[in-house]
Amino acid sequence: MARAYNFSAGPATLPEAVLRQAQAEMLDWNGVGASIVELSHRGAEFIGVAARAEADLRRLMSIPDDYAVLFLSGGATTQQALLALNFAAPGQAVDYVVTGHWSKTAIRQAGPYVDVHVAASSEAGGFRDIPPRESWSLSPGAAYVHITANETIHGVEYRQVPEVGEVPLFADFSSSIASEPIDVSRYGLIYAGAQKNLGPVGISVVIVRRDLLERAGQPRADIFTYASHAARDSMLNTPPTWNWYLLGLTVKWMLDEGGVEEFARRNAAKAALVYQAIDGSGGFYRNEVAPAVRSRMNIPFFLPDEQLTARFVSESKAAGLLALKGHKAVGGIRASLYNAMPVAGAQALVDFMRDFQQRNG
């Protein structure tokens, strides 16, 4: 079987080596006579898997000891609601910087619980840039400042950590986590759905400074309390064990491949290939994001008309290049270049783009 190059924004491509290991271990994990997904999450076997996944993620991302690492069911959207419940008092102000679709989603999830203040927004300009830090209007006494580190749909990415003073900075890193080195200590909390760079859909990672877990937050059930999950090593309830196991395999694969430094190099190379093809097309392809904040992970681009766009999607799929249709919110084409996408995949896309332009330009 020949695997295609999968440019899906999420659930996204996984490393072939990880899939093959999971396939080999599916019926009998580590010689115990059962699959890892059949073993108790409270048994020594799975506890070992979970502990290794956390240790490897800490090593991969250089996570300081004064940060807790949580592995939780669901996606990033769930965390967006839990941030407000755990870290803001009822009615307390929280600051959000809006740079695309997922920033707006984060506001909708927090809105019922806090006084959401939009500190800055690039919506008037079509989410093609990030508002300069000096234009932000931050609230005195805000519980936190929230940013979306990489906008999966609009293809906008922070290239520098914004300075927000003593208020903790919270960041949705769903589509760029572990794609390059970051200084975790610059953030109060980082969260990410795993299904782009870290593993399969159905599990999220929350990296949170331990002192923030002492905040009272708002009335909520214990199952929605980060401190309770941290106290029970993310096993307050039955976790998604198969997803956690696959996440652990993916993180180990990243370490074996050279870690975030190596993936930063690969990701820069892949993005450069695609952006050069767009910028060098004489306007046949166009990316509308300000060059200084162009995403390395998600590259949206447009063709001259909808008919050509539909043809591009159809022919690219036939050529073994999957899931290039843009999100319905913006249309066009979108190529997602997460860690598991090899440089050869980006080159195959560029070769197709050039051939398509020659035949249709």
Q: pLDDT tens digits, residue range 72-85?
A: 999 999 999 999 99
Same-domain check for residues 319 and 217: no
Which CA distances in Å does 352 have to 276, 313, 319? 14, 11, 8
Strand partners of residue 96 = 118, 146
Same-domain check for residues 298 and 310: yes
Among 210, 234, 256, identify where a domain stops: 256
Among 240, 256, 272, identify where a domain stops: 256
5-6 and 321-322 as β-strands: parallel, antiparallel, unpaired?
A: parallel
- Look at residue 340 and tell me if it is in a domain: yes
Residue type, 217: G
pLDDT digits (tens, 9 = 90+) for 239-279: 999 999 999 999 999 999 999 999 999 999 999 999 999 99
pLDDT digits (tens, 9 = 90+) for 285-324: 999 999 999 999 999 999 999 999 999 999 999 999 999 9
Decide if 102 is catalytic: yes
Same-domain check for residues 215 and 169: yes
Same-domain check for residues 139 and 189: yes
198 pLDDT higher than 70: yes
Give the structural domain span for 306. Answer: 259-360
Tell me the pTM: 0.97
Which CA distances in Å does 17 have to 57, 240, 249, 251, 325? 18, 21, 9, 12, 27
Decide if 355 is catalytic: no
Among 208, 230, 256, identify where a domain stops: 256
- Look at residue 10 and tell me if it is in a domain: no
- Look at residue 344 and tell me if it is in a domain: yes
Decide if 328 is catalytic: no
CA distance 251 to 271: 22
Same-domain check for residues 59 and 208: yes
3-state secondary structure of 86: helix
334 touches 298 (CB < 8 A): yes
CA distance 290 to 305: 22
User: So what's the pLDDT on residue 360?
Assistant: 97
- Look at residue 6 and tell me if it is in a domain: no
Question: What length does the chain have?
Answer: 361
Same-domain check for residues 114 and 184: yes
Instruction: Give me the mean pLDDT over the 106-111 stretch.
Output: 96
User: So what's the pLDDT on residue 91?
Assistant: 87
1 pLDDT higher than 70: no
User: So what's the pLDDT on residue 27?
Assistant: 97
User: So what's the pLDDT on residue 173?
Assistant: 98
Q: Which CATH number characterizes residue 87's domain? A: 3.40.640.10
- Look at residue 1 and tell me if it is in a domain: no
Same-domain check for residues 27 and 167: yes
At 64, the pLDDT band (50, 70, 90 cuts) reads very high
| Percentage of residues in the chain having pLDDT higher than 70 | 100
The catalytic position among 56, 95, 196, 325 is 196
CA distance 62 to 8: 28
Same-domain check for residues 327 and 207: no
232 touches 42 (CB < 8 A): no
User: So what's the pLDDT on residue 361?
Assistant: 87
1 touches 337 (CB < 8 A): no
3-state secondary structure of 189: strand
CA distance 333 to 361: 17
228 pLDDT higher than 90: yes
Instruction: Give me the mean pLDDT over the 329-343 stretch.
Output: 97
- Look at residue 226 and tell me if it is in a domain: yes
Q: In this structure, what token pair is assigned to residue 165?
A: 């003073």
Same-domain check for residues 144 and 272: no
- Look at residue 84 and tell me if it is in a domain: yes
CA distance 82 to 305: 42
Q: In this structure, what token pair is assigned to residue 164?
A: 């927000």
Q: Which CATH number characterizes residue 294's domain? A: 3.90.1150.10
Same-domain check for residues 96 and 207: yes
169-172 and 145-148 as β-strands: parallel, antiparallel, unpaired?
A: parallel
- Look at residue 194 and tell me if it is in a domain: yes
Average pLDDT over all residues of the chain: 97
Same-domain check for residues 225 and 297: no
CA distance 40 to 266: 38
The catalytic position among 29, 102, 244, 253 is 102
Backbone φ/ψ region at 209: left (φ over 0), alpha (ψ -120 to 50), beta: beta
Same-domain check for residues 216 and 301: no
DSSP state, residue 338: -
The catalytic position among 172, 252, 270, 325 is 172
Number of folded domains in the chain?
A: 2
